[in-house]
Chain A
Amino acid sequence: MPRLPTSLIRAARLIDPLLPLLLRPCRDLRSAQNELRWLCEHIQNHAGARNITERTALLKKLVQERSTGKPLQYILGTEFFGDFEIECRPGVLIPRQETAASITQLVHLLRKSKSLPPELRILDLCTGTGCIPLLFQDELSKHQDIRLELLGVDISKKAIQLARSNLAKLRSQGKPTAGNKISFMRADVLDDAREGYDHEIPKLMSALESQHKSSTWDILISNPPYVSPSEYWKTTTRSVRCFEPQLALVPPPSHGLKDLDQGDRFYPRLLHIARDVAAKIVLFEVADLDQALRVTGMARQAGIFSGIEIWRDDPGGSAELESTYASGDFPIVGSGNGRSVLCWRGEGAVWLGKHV
């Protein structure tokens, strides 16, 4: 990482002596100032500091923590996902804004549909904090009179605990979860035996059965680990590597899988599940346009979808909303990096407002 210019550090110090410390993780003055403000607000609103001296000491401590690269979201304990405040804890991946943007866009399309069934079942695999089902149900129930059944699945115990805690918090805040059924379940999405694998954890399909969950799901969403080992070292930031769980980012190795294929490892399995649960809409997050193109290729090969498209970071981006065709194959929607792959079939086309 390039050194920060001395002039910038000096300018920061003039504004606040704590700012130079925040420049280290933030890299620019504006973000550093924002973070300092959020930390101050956090201390005033939540932390148990009783007087100015205690507060100042606490602020200094938090700023120092942050300067080591510890994500602000872990320090403050929450992150905004859409306009939803989601609890975050070390050991579980912090939800990303790009994910929220895709979910919001998906709900936006569904909201416009006049032919949604009275009941929809949504399965979110690799759910982490549970942010996806929680945002999905909130955004859709606000506007549509519809009953939702949502299930979030994750292999990590910490993730499932956190997801349940997020759900409980939501209910305690009196947010309308109305007639919706939301639950979280621990299971393994991949179905092979792996080295160092905890055999206590059931495989997805048998868990669905043993826990008396439905075996068919209308919409399948997943933001699985999608970073290959080499990318992990090259493109992730230090804060991600040092503080977020590798389990959430890098798919496990498997005999004979090359680097790139290891990064893609969840997608063939997810497509398989999509077929088994008879999903009519599928939304997968991906790392970039290259991976998006590989995943669309797999989806086409699966041969079950009537439509496939690629979304960018901001798929509903107002002014720049445009579809371009990648090598004459699939539409690419929105602006930013390639971010997700959307597939549909049967009624899914109607729900999404796609003309068949």
Chain B
Amino acid sequence: MTTAPWICRTCLSRFVRPLARSNARFQSTRSSKETIPAGLLARARNIAIEHKQLTEKLANGFDARAAKKIGEYSPIVEALKAWEKANESVGELTSLIHDPETDAELRELAAEDLSATRATLADASQSLTTSLVPVHPFAHLPCLIEIRPGAGGSEAAIFAGDLLRMYQAFCNRKGLRTMLLKYENINGGQEAGIPLSEAILEVGTENAYGMFRCEAGVHRVQRVPVTESKGRTHTSAASVLVLPSIEENTLGEEDVDDPESDYYIDPKEVKTEVMRARGAGGQHVNTTESAVRLTHIPTNIVVSIQDSRSQPKNKEKAWRLLRSRVAQLRREKREEELAAMKRSVVGVAKMGRGDKVRTYNWGQQRVTDHRSGTTVHDLNDVMDGGQTLEKVMESVRNWLMERDVEALLAEESSSKT
């Protein structure tokens, strides 16, 4: 497992591609994007080999797990193909240009082609990198944004309210479905216009967690509070917590054939034992033995049913029981993962307590994100949830992806030792 922070691939594709193109434009400054780290390339090639083996396996009979894996790997395999093609073209063109045999006209043509092909290669490298970054398991989910004032008294509470309005405006502009699940002012009431004590905003749209999770952390404000009579600038903060909103598993017992369902069990992973008559069987004995025992090999869950005199009935019952036991285990595991995830999200926020993630400075009309190092100057547009806020969020997502790539590379090199 990678320890890298996760990032939403759909957001990435939205935000990274234009970036790749701009890289091509400013090739002189960021030409490194054209290449792809050897470790990542090796990883992609290994996946392509596995993909091929799985495809062959699938040809010999349906296997839901293999089919699912193939689906996951396909984008990587496609991206690798595109990259290899572009890389080959660049190689061919370069050797053509350096070949003394090449006549001047052809060389010129090749040189022209080369810059376009380089741009394609840069694009392909970026896509390949993106496809390799594991998608955060919850990226596709809706999310909850929890906002609370931090240090700084009522000014912090006022700023917390500003942030809530900022996110609401942003969602509004982007057409994202929101619902204010909780709103409490410092008097414990719900009236607006009084400094905020806690708000929970649900963004009910798919992929919202992938989009907003980079907002988690301590947001710092530097301004002259309205309550300040002497005109001094104060520094206060509000904390933002972003959690995936996980509804109760919607796939239930009816979906036993859906590999996504908790109740799905691959028959190949179950050992069936019918307690047969000892010895010869057939006409030689007239046993009443009808017990059935099933073992789910991956989890080692065993169920044994002997209620009925009918073996098929016992088998059916045993399968039902096995399914619900396995589903129970999966739910528990998921809840554990979620709890661990929540702890780590809170951990990020805590890390931000000393280490704020973003500063909003009224005096300079600027917003700086301390992770991506991006500074923008249209503070009002940020607070209105406009394009400028989107730009800042995008910069953090890219920063997160770079961390993911680093983690992937670290993992790749450690798995080699």
Residues of A within 8 A of B (CB): 26, 30-31, 34-35, 38, 71-73, 79-80, 82-83, 85, 93-94, 96-100, 104, 223, 225-227, 231, 235-237, 239-240, 243-244, 248-249, 285-288, 313-314, 317-319, 336-337, 339
B283:A73 contact, CB within 8 angstroms = no
B290:A80 contact, CB within 8 angstroms = yes
A285:B309 contact, CB within 8 angstroms = no
Min C-beta distance of B343 to chain A, whole Å: 39
B286:A239 contact, CB within 8 angstroms = yes
Contacts A31-B289, A79-B309, A336-B276: A318 and B283 contacting too (C-beta < 8 A)? no
A-contacting residues, B340-391, CB 8 Å: none
20 pairs from A and B in contact (CB 8 Å cutoff): A26-B288, A30-B291, A31-B288, A80-B312, A83-B312, A83-B313, A97-B274, A97-B276, A97-B311, A235-B279, A244-B286, A287-B280, A287-B283, A287-B284, A288-B282, A313-B281, A318-B272, A319-B270, A337-B280, A339-B281
A-contacting residues, B264-285, CB 8 Å: 267-268, 270-272, 274, 276, 279-285
**Which of B272, B276, B288, B313 is within 8 Å of A34, CB to CB?**
B288
A237:B285 contact, CB within 8 angstroms = yes
| Chain B residue contacts of A93, Cβ below 8 A | 283
Q: Does B185 contact A (CB under 8 A)?
A: no
| Chain B residue contacts of A317, Cβ below 8 A | 272
A226 CA / B283 CA spacing, docked (Å): 8
Q: Does B31 contact A (CB under 8 A)?
A: no
A285:B288 contact, CB within 8 angstroms = no
Residue of B267, B268, B282, B306 with most chain A CB atoms under a 10 A cut-off: B282
Q: Does B46 contact A (CB under 8 A)?
A: no
B286-305 contact mask (Cβ, 8 Å, vs A): 1 or 0: 11111100000000000000
Closest chain B residue, CB of each to CB of A88: B286
A319:B312 contact, CB within 8 angstroms = no
Q: Does B102 contact A (CB under 8 A)?
A: no
| Chain A residue contacts of B306, Cβ below 8 A | 30, 34
Q: Does B310 contact A (CB under 8 A)?
A: yes
| Chain B residue contacts of A85, Cβ below 8 A | 310
Closest chain B residue, CB of each to CB of A99: B282
Interface residues on B, range: 20 to 34
Residues of B within 8 A of A (CB): 267-268, 270-272, 274, 276, 279-291, 306, 308-313, 316
**Which of A80, A99, A240, A336 is within 8 Å of B309, CB to CB?**
A80
A94:B286 contact, CB within 8 angstroms = yes
| Chain B residue contacts of A30, Cβ below 8 A | 291, 306
| Chain A residue contacts of B284, Cβ below 8 A | 227, 231, 235-237, 240, 287
Min C-beta distance of B282 to chain A, whole Å: 6
| Chain B residue contacts of A72, Cβ below 8 A | 288
A96:B310 contact, CB within 8 angstroms = no
A217 CA / B353 CA spacing, docked (Å): 84
| Chain B residue contacts of A98, Cβ below 8 A | 276, 281-282
A79 CA / B288 CA spacing, docked (Å): 9
B310:A80 contact, CB within 8 angstroms = yes
B282:A339 contact, CB within 8 angstroms = yes
Please name the 10 residue pairs, one residue from A and one from B, whose CB atoms are nearest each other, closest first.
A80-B310, A83-B312, A236-B284, A319-B271, A71-B286, A72-B288, A235-B284, A235-B280, A237-B285, A94-B286
Contacts A34-B306, A288-B280, A318-B267: A96 and B286 contacting too (C-beta < 8 A)? yes
Task: Give 10 A-B pairs besides A34-B291, A80-B290, A98-B276 with Cβ atoms closer than 8 angstroms.
Answer: A80-B312, A97-B290, A226-B283, A236-B284, A236-B285, A237-B285, A287-B283, A288-B282, A314-B274, A318-B267
B313:A80 contact, CB within 8 angstroms = yes
**Which of A82, A226, A337 is within 8 Å of B281, CB to CB?**
A337
A72 CA / B290 CA spacing, docked (Å): 13
Contacts A80-B308, A336-B276: A240 and B271 contacting too (C-beta < 8 A)? no
**Which of B270, B279, B283, B313 is within 8 Å of A96, CB to CB?**
B283
A319:B272 contact, CB within 8 angstroms = yes
A35:B286 contact, CB within 8 angstroms = no
A249 CA / B282 CA spacing, docked (Å): 10
A99 CA / B311 CA spacing, docked (Å): 13
| Chain A residue contacts of B280, Cβ below 8 A | 235, 287-288, 337
Contacts A226-B283, A337-B280: A318 and B270 contacting too (C-beta < 8 A)? yes
B276:A82 contact, CB within 8 angstroms = no
Contacts A83-B310, A314-B274, A318-B270: A96 and B288 contacting too (C-beta < 8 A)? no
Min C-beta distance of A118 to chain B, whole Å: 28
A166 CA / B57 CA spacing, docked (Å): 46
Contacts A30-B291, A318-B268, A319-B268: A313 and B286 contacting too (C-beta < 8 A)? no
Closest chain B residue, CB of each to CB of A337: B281
Min C-beta distance of B323 to chain A, whole Å: 15
Min C-beta distance of A234 to chain B, whole Å: 9
A38 CA / B279 CA spacing, docked (Å): 24
Min C-beta distance of A178 to chain B, whole Å: 22
B283:A236 contact, CB within 8 angstroms = yes
Min C-beta distance of A298 to chain B, whole Å: 19
| Chain A residue contacts of B308, Cβ below 8 A | 80
A287 CA / B268 CA spacing, docked (Å): 29
Min C-beta distance of A296 to chain B, whole Å: 17
Min C-beta distance of B280 to chain A, whole Å: 5
A82 CA / B316 CA spacing, docked (Å): 12
Closest chain B residue, CB of each to CB of A76: B309
Residue of B280, B283, B289 with most chain A CB atoms under a 10 A cut-off: B283
**Which of B267, B282, B291, B309 is within 8 Å of A337, CB to CB?**
B282
A356 CA / B287 CA spacing, docked (Å): 39
A26 CA / B276 CA spacing, docked (Å): 13
| Chain B residue contacts of A239, Cβ below 8 A | 285-286
A27 CA / B271 CA spacing, docked (Å): 26
Closest chain A residue, CB of each to CB of B306: A34
A285:B285 contact, CB within 8 angstroms = no
Closest chain B residue, CB of each to CB of A82: B312
Min C-beta distance of B156 to chain A, whole Å: 62
Min C-beta distance of B316 to chain A, whole Å: 8
Closest chain B residue, CB of each to CB of A250: B283
A313 CA / B306 CA spacing, docked (Å): 19
Contacts A72-B288, A314-B274: A96 and B282 contacting too (C-beta < 8 A)? yes
Min C-beta distance of A286 to chain B, whole Å: 8
A352 CA / B173 CA spacing, docked (Å): 62
Min C-beta distance of B366 to chain A, whole Å: 65
A317 CA / B236 CA spacing, docked (Å): 68
| Chain A residue contacts of B288, Cβ below 8 A | 26, 31, 34-35, 38, 71-73
A114 CA / B148 CA spacing, docked (Å): 64
A227 CA / B267 CA spacing, docked (Å): 36
